[in-house]
Amino acid sequence: MSTPAFSQSTFNRNLKKYYTFYTGGFILFLLAIALAEQLGMSRAWIGYWFLFATIALYAGIGWMTRTQDVAEYYVAGRRVPSFFNGMATGADWMSAASFIGMAGTLFLSGYDGLAWVMGWTGGFCLVALFLAPYLRKFGQFTIPDFLAERYGGNIVRFMGVICAITCSFVYVVAQIYGVGLIVSRMTGLEFGVGVFVGLAGILVCAMLGGMRAVTWTQVAQYIVLIIAYMTPVVWLGVKHTGIPVPQFAYGYTLQKLGEVEKKITADPKEQEVRKIFADRAAAGRAALASPDKAYAEGKAKVEKNLADLKAANAPAEKIAEAERAVAAYPANVNAAQVQWRREAGLAARAAPPRPHAQAFPGADEAAQNTARLNFIGIVFCMMFGTAALPHILMRYYTTPSVQEARTSVFWSLVCIFILYFTAPCLAVLAKYDMYTHLVGSSFASLPAWASAWAKVDPSLLSIVDINKDGIVQLAEIVIGGDLIVLATPEIAGLPYVVSGLVAAGGLAAALSTADGLLLTIANALAHDFYYKLIDPTATTARRVFLSKFLLVCAAITAAYVTSLKPGDILFLVGAAFSLGASSFFPCLVMGIFWKRASKWGAIIGMGAGLGICVYYMVTRYPFFGINMPLWFGLSPVSAGMFGLPVSMITIFIVSWLTPAPPKEVQELVEHVRYPNLVGDNVVSEAR
Amino acid sequence: MQLTERHHEYWRKNLVITAILFAIWFVFTFVEIWFARELNSSMTFLGFPLAFYFSAQGSLAIYVALIGIYALIMRKLDKEYGVDEGDLE
C-alpha cells in the first residue's frame, strides 16, 4: 500500500483516502445491485454477486499487500494508526457468533443474554489498563515471546505455545462453521463446498501478506459488516420508534413489549395451546415412568381405534388415518421412549413468555441466585478471556507507539460498541414486531417472510396450528436464534439486496476472525516453536515461508474438524475463553505488575490454572459423561472462575518460595513500564 | 539503568489511576449485576428498567469512557514525567 520511504503522516493520509474511496465504492456497489434487483435480477444472482465480489475484494487487498519481510509479516511493520487498528481489532474480535448469534440469544433469553454483551465489551478495559501499552513497549512478535523473555526459559514458551494454539484452534473451528453456513445459505452450495470457498478467501489473504494483509483486509471487512448490521436496524427503528437511531429510544418499545407479553400470558387461546403442551408433556413423562405397560396400552389403543372404525363402517378417509396411526406407532419400546422423551420436553413450551427485561428468573430465591451466579460467571470468564486471547493481544503489537496502543484500545471498543449496543435493540424491535404482527395473524395469510423461512429450515422457524383455530399463537411458534439477524431485512420489509448485504456482513465477520486466529496459530508454530525452540539459525525467508505453509496446514486441519460438525459450538467458544482466562491472564499481568513473579511461579501457576479449568470442564460437562455435581451450581463453561484465582494464588505462593528473577528480567519489567526511558539499555523491540 | 525517584513517582501515579479506573469498572460490572433485580424494580431510565439499561448500554458506554480517559491521562502523565515518545506525526 505504500513504500517504507513514506513518512508516517503521509501514510496515514493515504490510508484515509483509500478507505474513503473504498467505502464510497462499496455503497455504489450496493446501489448498483439494488437497481439491478428492481430491473429483475434474481435472488440467487444477488447472493452470488455479494459472495464473490466481497471475497474477490478481500483477496485483492491480500494480493496488494503481500510481503516477505518479517516485521511486515508478523506485525504489519508496526505502523498501523490507532483508529485503523481499532477497526481491524473490531473485525478480528466480532465473529459469526457476535454478528448472527448475539441478537438471537438476546431475543430468546432477554436480560440473561446480556451477559455476553457485557462480557465481550468490558474485557477491553482490562486489555487497556493491564496489557496493551506494556506489550506494545515490549514489542516482539507473539505472546509466548513475552512470556519467554519475562520468565526466561523454553518451558514457559512451550506452555505459551500450547495454550495459544488450544484457545485459537477451538475458536477457529466455530468460525469456519459459520463461514460454511453463510456461504451455503447465500448461494445454495453444499455446506462442505461452502467451507472451502470461504477458506480460499481466508488463505489468499492471510498467506500472502501475514499480519499486514490481515490488518488491511480486516479494516475493509469491518466497514462491510457495520454497514450490513446497521441498515436493517435503522429501518426497523424508523418503523417502530420513529427515529433512525432506535438504540436510544427502544426503552419505550421494551415497555410496550412488556404489555404485549402480559396480554399473551393472559390470553385464553394462548393458555389453551400451552395446556395442550403441558398435557402432552405429562403424558410423555407418565409413559417414561412405566415404559412396557405404556407401550402395550398405546399399541392396543390405536389398534382398537382402527377396529372400531372398521366395525362401525366409518368413512374411508377416517379408516385410512387410523391405519396410518397404527403404521406410525413405534416398532419397539426403545423407539417409543425416544418419542416420549421428545413429548416430555414440550414442557418448556407450556410456560408463558418470560418478561424480556426480567433479571435472573427462577422459581425461588435460591434458583434466582444460582442464575445470578451463572450470569456473573459468564461475564467474568468472557472479560478475562478477552484480555488473554492471543489473536487480540497481538493486534496491539502493530501500532507505531505505546501512546497509539492506548488510543487504539479505545477505538477498538468504540468500533465494537457500535454493534454490541445495537444487538439488544435489534432483539427487542424484532420481538415486538413478531409479537404484534405474526402472533394473532391467521394461518391463511402468514407474512411472506415467515412462510418462506419456515420452508427453508424448520429449525430456524416452525409454526404449527396446535389448537386448530386458524390463528397463530405465540406458543405455536418455534424460533431458532440465528433467524433474527438473517431475517430482519425481510421482517422490516426491505428489498432482497439488504438480505444479501447482511449475509455478506456475516461472512466478513466470520472470515476476519478466522484470518486472525489462523495467523496466531501459524505464528506460534513457526516463530515460537520452530525458530525459537528448534532452529534459531533459520533465515528470515525460511521463517516466513514456514509460517505460510503452516497456515495452510492449520486451515485445512480446522476445515476437516469443522466438517465433522463437533457438538455445541457455543460451549466450545466459551471454553476457549475460560481456558485463556485461566492460563494466560494471571502470568501476563503479574509479569508486568509484580517484579518478584518468578519462572517457576509462572510455570506452576499456568499449569494449576489450566489444570483446574480442564478438570472442572471434563468432570462436569455432559459431553464427557462423568457429570459430577456442580460447585455452587456454576456451569462448566465458566470454569475460568475457578482457574483464574487458583492460577494467581499459585504464582504468588510459588514465586515467594523460589529465588527472585535475575537482574536482567527486573530491568525488562522496568523497561516495559515506561513508554520511553532515557538511557535505557534494554532493547526488546524486534525489527 | 538506575530509576530515579521521579520514575518511581510516575509508576505509583500510574498504579493509582489504574486502580481507580479498575474500581469503577468493577462497580459498573459486578456490583450492577449483583443488584440487578433491585435496580430493575427501582426505576426506569429512558423507558428501560435500570439494570437492563446498564447491562445493554450504560455499562458499555462507561467502558468506552474509561479507556478513553486512561489514554488521555496517561498521555499527559508521560509528558509531565518526560517518559513520552515525542511527537510521532
Q: B4 — contact with chain A (CB < 8 Å)?
A: no
CA distance B71 to chain A (A): 5
CA distance B69 to chain A (A): 9
pLDDT tens digit sequence for A69-124: 888 888 888 888 989 999 999 999 998 878 888 888 899 988 999 999 999 999 99
DSSP run (H or E) holding B52: helix B50-53
Q: A405 — contact with chain B (CB < 8 Å)?
A: no
What is the pTM for the complete model shown? 0.89
CA-to-CA distance for A610 and A583, rounded, in angstroms?
5
The C-alpha cell at A623 is: 459431553
Residue A151: inside a domain, yes or no? Answer: no
Burial class (CB in 10 A: 0-12, 13-18, 19+), A632: exposed
Count of the separate structural domains present in chain A = 2
Domain boundary among A350, A367, A399: A350
Residue A675: inside a domain, yes or no? Answer: no
B88 → closest Cβ in A115, A372, A400: A400
- Say yes or no for a CB contact (<8 Å) between A357 and B63: no
pLDDT tens digit sequence for A490-501: 877 788 899 889
Those residues with Cβ within 8 angstroms of residue B40's Cβ, 6 or more apart along the chain or in another chain? A111, A357, A358, A359, B49, B50, B51, B52
- Say yes or no for a CB contact (<8 Å) between A8 and B36: no
Closest-CA residue of chain B to A427: B56
Q: What is the DSSP string of A214-226?
A: HHHHHHHHHHHHH
A 661-680 residues with CB < 8 A to B: 667, 670, 673-680
pLDDT of residue A453: 77
Spell out a b/e string for A287-303, using b for 16 or more CB atoms within 10 Å of the CB, else e: beeeeeebbeebeeebe
**Helix ranges (DSSP H) in A316-434:** 316-328, 333-344, 365-386, 390-393, 402-420, 423-433
- Say yes or no for a CB contact (<8 Å) between A372 and B34: yes
B44: left (phi over 0), alpha (psi -120 to 50) or beta: beta
- Say yes or no for a CB contact (<8 Å) between B53 and A375: no
| Residue to test with chain B: of A116, A130, A403, most B Cβ within 10 A | A403
pLDDT of residue A585: 94
- Say yes or no for a CB contact (<8 Å) between A128 and B67: yes
A254 → closest Cβ in B1, B7, B48: B48
**3 state DSSP class of A470:** coil
Those residues with Cβ within 8 angstroms of residue A672's Cβ, 6 or more apart along the chain or in another chain? A134, A135, A137, A138, A592, A684
Residue-range definition of the domain harbouring residue A17: 1-38
Give A9's contacts in chain B (Cβ within 8 Å): 89
Those residues with Cβ within 8 angstroms of residue A123's Cβ, 6 or more apart along the chain or in another chain? A382, A383, A384, A385, A386, A387
Residue A169: inside a domain, yes or no? Answer: no
Residue A474: inside a domain, yes or no? Answer: no
- Say yes or no for a CB contact (<8 Å) between B56 and A114: yes
Closest-CA residue of chain B to A118: B55
A67: left (phi over 0), alpha (psi -120 to 50) or beta: beta
CA-to-CA distance for A584 and A150, rounded, in angstroms?
13
CA distance A121 to chain B (A): 7
- Say yes or no for a CB contact (<8 Å) between B64 and A417: yes
Which residues of chain A fall short of a pLDDT of 50? 1-5
Closest among A417, A415, A413, A513 to A125, alpha carbons compared: A413
DSSP letter at A394 equals G
Domain boundary among A297, A329, A350: A350
Give A407's contacts in chain B (Cβ within 8 Å): 71
Domain boundary among A300, A320, A350: A350
**3 state DSSP class of A82:** helix
Q: What is the DSSP string of A281-337?
A: HHHHHHHHHSHHHHHHHHHHHHHHHHHHHHHTT--HHHHHHHHHHHHHS-SSHHHHH
pLDDT tens digit sequence for A567-600: 566 777 888 899 999 999 999 999 999 999 999 9
B 12-71 residues with CB < 8 A to A: 14, 18, 21-22, 25, 29-30, 33-34, 36-37, 40, 44-49, 51-53, 55-57, 59-61, 63-64, 66-68, 70-71
- Say yes or no for a CB contact (<8 Å) between A421 and B60: yes
* CA–CA distances in Å: residue A75 to residues A70, A386, A509, A663: 8, 20, 21, 29
Residue A497: inside a domain, yes or no? Answer: no
pLDDT of residue A3: 43
Residue A166: inside a domain, yes or no? Answer: no
pLDDT of residue B87: 61
Give B21's contacts in chain A (Cβ within 8 Å): 125, 129
